[in-house]
Chains A and B, each alone.
Chain A
């Protein structure tokens, strides 16, 4: 990878898009951020290059997600623009046009899982995950790390890369016992072929900058050093801020800037953050300046004074223990054997019950990973969604990973062809990432859709 000298910015506030008029994810969300960064003249700084967003293609989304029934039904233009912005910046970073970037976009994406039946946690499609698979396809990147710094557990991103040994996913968040989506415990560590490539750091409500930066210095940075990613993505949610109405943490704008400076992400993508007046203008400024290598020490919330938040001894101890525990897991990453109870024949199976809070959908999934000695193995996901008034009908999703072996590829294709003949599923999907070809098949109409890169 070459390195440019500027920080690329895409600011896409979607001033004409909302989930609903009074929803936190509404037109007004980035209004004051706009005011702040425009008034500061950020876009004129020689260290900043502003880009206009572009739309992601349906193909880019079909590479990552199984949208039921199809991509068009699950996305609006706003979603395509948000994902497209992440892709456009990533493209320019890898090409060496810019040194790093920040996609200041909405709607967010980190709660969107691999299979998409609707909107959950304000997300339909996962902007960062789509961008990651784009980079692997178009630029041949192998190892990528995603650091999720939103106050909510990035359960969508975790789901997508659970079995992927080449994508390291680290999320710190407010403890799932006290906040949506209620997951992200330390024992969630990834599938049998990707053990400890998922790391969850649940923090107690009230955590301050001090503990957060302790986690970064003593856990996240050492793991990143071991993993040696070619590209680091930051899912930059801003709801750890002390004024956020949904979260209960006490992180400051300065804390976010220091976090960014330490992580040195190639690309940051905005996730949540709903203190639209009291946090976002300042946190976004802090992140931009930190990425651009500019002095952020004068970025300060009007109601903040140094020393306002002090970490309790109890929380400090808790964080130290947490870091030790997870470091040990990380050390054991290649020595831990998978839970044998979950293996039947050649498949590793896990069941999932997924709730879509925004759209009130309940989904049941059985996910089977083919255990292969030559590659990470293909995935079979059997999914059915209950929309309250009706059921979606069963769908089967088959995903062949980038590094799949020939045997797994043809086996997966065989399953797809065979299942097409049965009436058991309403839709059948096949993603072959090795060839960048995606199929979907509607058994009722016997119609096949095919997308090639």
Chain B
């Protein structure tokens, strides 16, 4: 049996699955004491008889996201090596950034060497401030990790108790500013994330559960609990990933779907293209920080069932704020939920109260309560459908760098709109109608997130870069750099090397993968021609385990 637990900011949802059936589900408020909350959720779905049969338990959480939003994290110092290029002023505005000498170029060649005294001076400064979390990030460090490693060694030799993170291992893509931000967040969230992990461990010990424990990542894959401590930022924004996977589990295979998660204050939108959740092209945006964290492409709109409605310049306006529940449920202000109630598109709450709320709004505009309600619903539906269309357009217009990609990328249209979350029922049908799609409100849609978490597959990725002219390769996630000794190194060998590294890395985290199921998501081979002769080859390879869900839920009729 599988357990999925989604720890949200307001509610914690839990499900117990037995093969393709939902055995139990629960929704409890998320309280200050995380351990208590987890235990309560577990107790509501798991009885003693089940405990031994639980094979795996998966957690997803927005806790890290909330910590970042509230800026409740550790002080971090970054040593960065930007070298030539963009002006260093671009990096100087943050107090924790220390710029040091040293530069590597796009081929991994050293352009400017390190200056040890500089590093010593900065270490002294950091030591004085009492901080001990340090990130070391170099431009093009993914092409040659030696500078980052040397700096780390200098630091660790003098201050062995400091935590030092290397940018090359954390941000394997080509994007130095995003590598800096991702490294920063990794350093900053390590301690608080450790507390989360500890709460999870204790909850499981207290309830005597010995299943495999995983954490859901933002890309919709899972990672074993103990391994996740190395990459805490990968768990940010796993909430939307959970509900998207939940929709995958609760709908038919191969669908192109829009997942509409209408909550109290926000609406989250995600896309599933032919059965694959769409990833954001370059990485997640965490508040105002652009990162390299692989994440689903999720749009969050400041419109929800409890958004306060008011009149601005003789028009009905949906403010981005929530003052409490809808008026029909005893709240203080008129909301979209009241509009739904007036039109009988929901049976939540008291219709008379809802009508009164709409009537007040209608007074100034000389409109009946029903007319106001219709306009409110239209407005919400318009905002959400416009954003959905924009997401598809953005996907279509995503830059491509090969002719093949440009010629083979065709406009696609969603076939279903899947509503999950509390406010889903009333609006989803109207949104689907406007987009010419079918509506699906899956059974268990209110706990789709926990179902998605429970069924998510573990995922791992490895990026390999090999440069035969210079004669070395790098496994980026491991920060491992080695000479190529094989004189007949070729594409097949590079690919085999990448796959082997993936299997080994997975084993390290306790994940078993069959070589046959490894996906190659990037395979770039460039011949290097100098003076009309081939002098070497460049290989850039990304291999990963397939993303997705272990199984689908069978729907009760």
Chain A interfacial positions (CB closer than 8 Å to B): 10-17, 21-22, 26-28, 31-32, 34-36, 38-41, 43-44, 50-53, 55, 77-78, 81, 277, 281, 285, 289, 294-300, 302
Contact = CB atoms under 8 A, between A and B. Distances in A.
A297 B290 CA distance: 25
A53 B160 CA distance: 51
6 contacts: A28-B529, A35-B106, A39-B140, A44-B175, A81-B403, A298-B88
A439 to B, nearest CB: 28
Contacts of B105: 302
Interface string B521-548: 0001011110011100010000000000
Nearest to A33: B106
Nearest to B403: A77
B84 A298 contact: yes
A27 B399 contact: no
A12 B401 contact: yes
Given A281-B106, A298-B85, A302-B105, A16 B527 contact: no
A297 B89 CA distance: 11
Contacts of A43: 282, 399
Contacts of B106: 32, 35-36, 39, 281
Name B's interface SS. loop
Nearest to A30: B401
B177 interface: yes
B434 interface: no
A41 B407 CA distance: 26
Nearest to A303: B111
Interface string B256-285: 000000000000000000000000001000
Contacts of A16: 402-404
B174 interface: yes
B364 interface: no
Interface of B: 84-89, 105-107, 109, 111, 139-140, 143, 173-178, 282, 290, 396-404, 406-407, 524, 526-529, 532-534, 538
B401 A295 contact: no
Contacts of B109: 302
Given A36-B85, A36-B106, A39-B106, A44 B401 contact: no
Contacts of B88: 298
B529 A40 contact: no
A50 B401 contact: no
Contacts of B533: 22
Given A15-B402, A27-B526, 4 more contacts: A35-B106, A40-B85, A40-B176, A299-B86
B139 A27 contact: no
B406 A81 contact: yes
A300 B406 contact: no
Contacts of A12: 401
B407 A77 contact: yes
A298 B85 CA distance: 5
Contacts of A10: 399
Nearest to B282: A44
Contacts of A81: 403, 406
Contact of B87 (A11, A31, A297): A297
A11 B399 contact: yes
Contact of A14 (B143, B397, B403): B403
Given A17-B403, A21-B527, A35 B89 contact: no
A299 B139 CA distance: 14
A32 B107 contact: yes
A333 B38 CA distance: 84
Nearest to A27: B526
Contact of B85 (A14, A34, A285): A285
Nearest to A9: B399
B401 A40 contact: no
A65 B340 CA distance: 60
Given A14-B403, A15-B524, A277-B107, A38 B538 contact: no
Nearest to B404: A16
Given A15-B402, A16-B404, A299 B526 contact: no
Contacts of A26: 527, 529
B85 A299 contact: yes
A168 B95 CA distance: 50
A38 B175 contact: yes
B407 to A, nearest CB: 6
B303 to A, nearest CB: 25
Contact of B526 (A28, A36, A77): A28
A28 B527 contact: yes
A47 to B, nearest CB: 11
A13 B401 contact: yes
A34 B401 contact: yes
Given A21-B527, A27-B527, A295 B89 contact: yes
Given A39-B140, A39-B175, A41-B177, A14 B86 contact: no
B100 to A, nearest CB: 15
B174 A35 contact: yes
B281 to A, nearest CB: 10
A229 B524 CA distance: 43
A55 B85 contact: no
Given A11-B401, A21-B527, A53-B406, A298 B178 contact: no
A21 B533 CA distance: 10
Nearest to A17: B403
Nearest to B89: A295
A302 B173 CA distance: 23
B107 A50 contact: no
Nearest to A16: B402
Contacts of A296: 87
Nearest to A78: B403
B174 A39 contact: yes
Contact of B84 (A27, A55, A299): A299
A38 B179 CA distance: 12
